[in-house]
């Protein structure tokens, strides 16, 4: 028996639901911020010091690429996390999976901070580093989908884009926290930073983990999933249901590629590239901090706008803007002016990428029915992350080393944005569709009762 297709009432008409919605939104924001803090701290420190600490015996360029190889290992693991946590999230519930993902992510990050280096235990150092990185990837693979759909499903049929932006803001908030912490530790003398200072951001994650778990324990299960559970309508194997009708999954993967390509190249890879052409590390981290602050404003604005005009026009605008500014952004970076660097990252990441990224939380969630939503949205998001961000730093590093300039970086950003822009034309507008129901893909147009609800 499928859940009732009748649109759920707006939380604004029910005080208890309104309180739960605010609590779930805060949980999504903090939880995703913790996850992205842990994940992005790794990318930042990898660019600064992991090459020499965990991959010695090679020239600096090869060492950096090897360090980013472990970065990619985390991204490869993310779809696996989407499958595993998506399966149990669609079978057992959203909340329990979110507690597990947060604990796994925070624990892996804390252990990275305790790892001996190559000089101490030899080859086991990079092996353990990659293992913990994979665990981080598995955790974040299940985190985003669960956190986002919990907010969207609690929001009901109104302002889903705006409410989902709280989870989306976890990315720049986590980036902001990681940049601030890393900025403090890189101000240390180089020998002290390499000896122990790099460990501090990882060890601090245990504090963030405690705060996140405290908030997350107070949220209640998604009302839409509770209805599915009540009707005993859970999908037996959600991944098979999604793969039987692969079109929504393929579209979900492709529509997010542009946002993740820009995000990866203009944050983690930018540290290695900018310091390589003469910028001081604090200058680069300052630019990333300013950009993350701007993104915290742009993301909710873009998401709220998608509630009014639709998801597709906003995502398309962000993709076009990202492609149009790619070469000017790299020209500003290559100018070697600290002020120009800040302007470049704000334009490319804080504004263009954020406009493209903001509506994705609601869009990907709305593309799948309740019975398979955790699995479908997670796989779509993580597939886009794998393709758009997982290997972009390595590809960019290799191409830049061969060309001697930043043109390949701009071309990669343009290519990712083009894929997103083309995919938007094949994605159905979902901002007015009902979340109720168990179909894998939602109808093309909303029903009359949804429009007037």
pLDDT, tens digit (0-9, with 9 covering 90-100), for 76-129: 788 888 899 998 988 888 888 988 988 898 888 899 999 998 888 887 888 888
Question: Distance between CA atoms of 448 and 204, rounded to whole angstroms?
Answer: 51
Q: Which residues of the chain have pLDDT under 70?
A: 1-14, 57-72, 74, 436-453
Residue 101 falls in which region: left (phi positive, over 0), alpha (psi -120 to 50) or beta: alpha
Residue with tokens 């924001």: 29
Of 356, 46, 304, the closest CA to residue 182 belongs to 46
Q: What's the whole-model pTM score?
A: 0.82
Question: Distance between CA atoms of 185 and 292, rounded to whole angstroms?
Answer: 19
- What is the DSSP code string of 53-74? HHS-SS-HHHHHHHHHHHHHHH
Token duo for residue 239 = 């991944």
Of 426, 309, 312, 427, the closest CA to residue 368 belongs to 427
Phi/psi for 429 (5° steps) reads: -70, 125
Question: Distance between CA atoms of 230 and 224, rounded to whole angstroms?
Answer: 10
Question: Distance between CA atoms of 195 and 173, rounded to whole angstroms?
Answer: 28
Whether 233 and 331 have beta carbons less than 8 Å apart is answered as: no
Q: What is the pLDDT of residue 133?
A: 85
- CA distances in angstroms from 168 to 25, 27, 144, 208, 440, listed in the order given: 10, 12, 9, 18, 23
Token duo for residue 187 = 């101000």
Token duo for residue 437 = 């129901």
Token duo for residue 423 = 């995919």
Helix (H, G, I), strand (E, B) or coil at 442: coil
DSSP code at position 12: G
Counting DSSP H helices and E strands in the chain, the numbers are 25, 0
Residues 6+ apart with CB under 8 A from 42: 71, 74, 109, 112, 133, 136, 202
Q: What is the pLDDT of residue 451?
A: 31
Whether 415 and 222 have beta carbons less than 8 Å apart is answered as: no
Q: Provide the greatest CA pair distance for the chain.
A: 67
Token duo for residue 367 = 């593309």
Question: Distance between CA atoms of 159 and 304, rounded to whole angstroms?
Answer: 7
Alpha-carbon Rg for the chain in angstroms: 21
Question: Distance between CA atoms of 57 and 440, rounded to whole angstroms?
Answer: 50
Q: Can you list the domains of the chain with their CATH numbers?
A: 17-222 (1.20.1250.20), 241-431 (1.20.1250.20)
């Amino acid at each position: 028996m499928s859940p009732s297709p009748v649109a759920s009432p707006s939380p604004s008409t029910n005080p208890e639901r309104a309180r739960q919605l605010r609590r779930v939104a805060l949980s999504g924001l903090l939880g995703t911020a913790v996850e992205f803090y842990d994940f992005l701290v790794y990318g930042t420190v990898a660019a600064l010091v992991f090459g020499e600490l965990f991959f010695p015996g090679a020239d600096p360029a090869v060492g950096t690429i090897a360090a980013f190889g472990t970065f990619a290992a985390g991204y490869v693991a993310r779809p696996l996390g989407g499958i595993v946590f998506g399966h149990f999230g669609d079978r057992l519930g959203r909340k329990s999976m979110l507690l597990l993902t947060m604990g796994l992510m925070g624990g892996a990050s804390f252990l990275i901070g305790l790892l001996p280096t190559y000089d101490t235990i030899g080859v086991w150092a990079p092996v353990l580093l990659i293992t913990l990185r994979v665990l981080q990837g598995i955790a974040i693979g299940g985190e985003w989908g669960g956190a986002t759909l919990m907010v969207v499903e609690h929001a009901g049929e109104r302002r889903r884009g705006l409410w989902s932006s709280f989870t989306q803001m976890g990315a720049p908030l986590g980036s902001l926290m990681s940049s601030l912490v890393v900025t403090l530790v890189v101000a240390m003398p180089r020998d002290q930073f390499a000896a122990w200072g790099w460990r501090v951001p990882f060890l601090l994650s245990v504090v963030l983990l405690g705060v996140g778990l405290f908030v997350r324990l107070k949220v209640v299960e998604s009302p839409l999933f509770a209805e599915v559970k009540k009707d005993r309508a859970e999908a037996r194997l959600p991944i098979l249901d999604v793969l039987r009708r692969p079109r929504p999954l393929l579209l979900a993967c492709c529509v997010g590629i542009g946002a993740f390509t820009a995000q990866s190249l203009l944050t983690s890879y930018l540290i290695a590239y900018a310091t390589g052409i003469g910028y001081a590390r604090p200058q680069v981290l300052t630019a990333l901090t300013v950009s993350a602050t701007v993104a915290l404003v742009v993301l909710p604005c873009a998401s709220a706008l998608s509630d009014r005009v639709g998801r597709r026009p906003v995502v398309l605008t962000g993709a076009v803007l990202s492609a149009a500014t790619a070469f000017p952004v790299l020209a500003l970076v290559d100018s070697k002016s600290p002020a120009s660097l800040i302007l470049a990252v704000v334009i490319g990441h804080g504004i263009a990428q954020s406009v493209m990224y903001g509506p994705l939380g609601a869009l990907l969630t709305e593309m799948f029915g309740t019975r398979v939503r955790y699995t479908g949205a997670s796989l779509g998001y993580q597939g886009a992350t794998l393709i758009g961000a997982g290997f972009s730093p390595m590809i960019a590093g290799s191409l830049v080393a061969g060309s001697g300039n930043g043109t390949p970086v701009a071309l990669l950003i343009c290519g990712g944005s083009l894929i997103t822009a083309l995919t938007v034309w094949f994605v159905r507008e979902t901002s007015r569709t009902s979340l109720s129901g168990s179909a894998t893909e939602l109808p093309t147009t909303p029903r009359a009762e949804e429009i007037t609800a």
